[in-house]
Amino acid sequence: MENNLWDPRLLAAFLGAVVTIIIAFIGWLIAAKQRKTDRLLEIRRKTYLDAVSSFTEAISYLTSIPGHLNSAGVNFAEGIANFQKAINQVNLICEVKNSYLINELNNKVIESFFKILKLAAPVHDLQFDINAKTQVQSNLNNRLDSLLERWGLTLEAEILNQEIFENQSKAFERLSEQIQEINAEINQLWENKLNIQKEVSKQSILIVANVSPVATQVEIVLRKELGLPYDKNIAKQREDMLEQQIYASLKLFEDLV
């Protein structure tokens, strides 16, 4: 019986079974590791795909800023919101290779954001002053209308005398002078606001022209990381779009002068 336990055939079969189990176990470990790797790669790929999508949108925001700032009397709030969104989206992909490009772009966008913010900050206060003075102007005009109406009634009633005429003439002159003064102040405020808006628009064009090439480089890096094709015409189309926006902005400046 003891000899049977050490039978070479039984021993070979036993060792074969053990080896088979070990190989199967190793195969299972390799397969499990590969599945985990595949899942991680898929997650990484999806992360990069999301980043490319977000970054493409961020570039779109950046290149559309001149249009936003120039539309509807310089829509500053929308332009700043787009800047901020671009910054947030750029931060999503800071772990990508060639991160120095990301950092460069991020720095440019943040620097641009504060530059535009500083330039456009007086616009809100100026608009507040304009609104307040416009209300004063409206009140003065109402008083003038009322005075003229009373003056007309006096003339119609044929009870006009020298004293009434002189008093109403002086009141009319004082109101006219006040209206002229408030009109001059309002015109000056509008001119100041317009000058700021034009400067903001000009700077936004320079900023986008400065940021856009780096943004395009980052997009190329992202697409290479994913093995995604990159159409060389995209950069050309973006440059053409930027050129059109610059032309439209310059045309706006001419119209505003």
* Percentage with pLDDT > 90 across the chain: 0
pLDDT (tens digit per residue) in 142-196: 777 776 666 655 554 444 555 555 666 677 777 778 778 878 888 888 887 777 7
pLDDT (tens digit per residue) in 28-87: 666 666 666 666 666 666 666 665 666 566 556 555 555 554 443 445 555 556 555 655
What per-residue string of b and e applies to 174-208 under the rule 16 or more CB within 10 Å gives b? ebeebbeebeeebeebeeebbebbbebbbbbbebb
- Which domains, and CATH codes, for the chain? 2-256 (1.10.287)
Position 191 scores a pLDDT of 81
Q: Is the pLDDT of residue 1 over 50?
A: no
pTM of the full predicted structure?
0.46
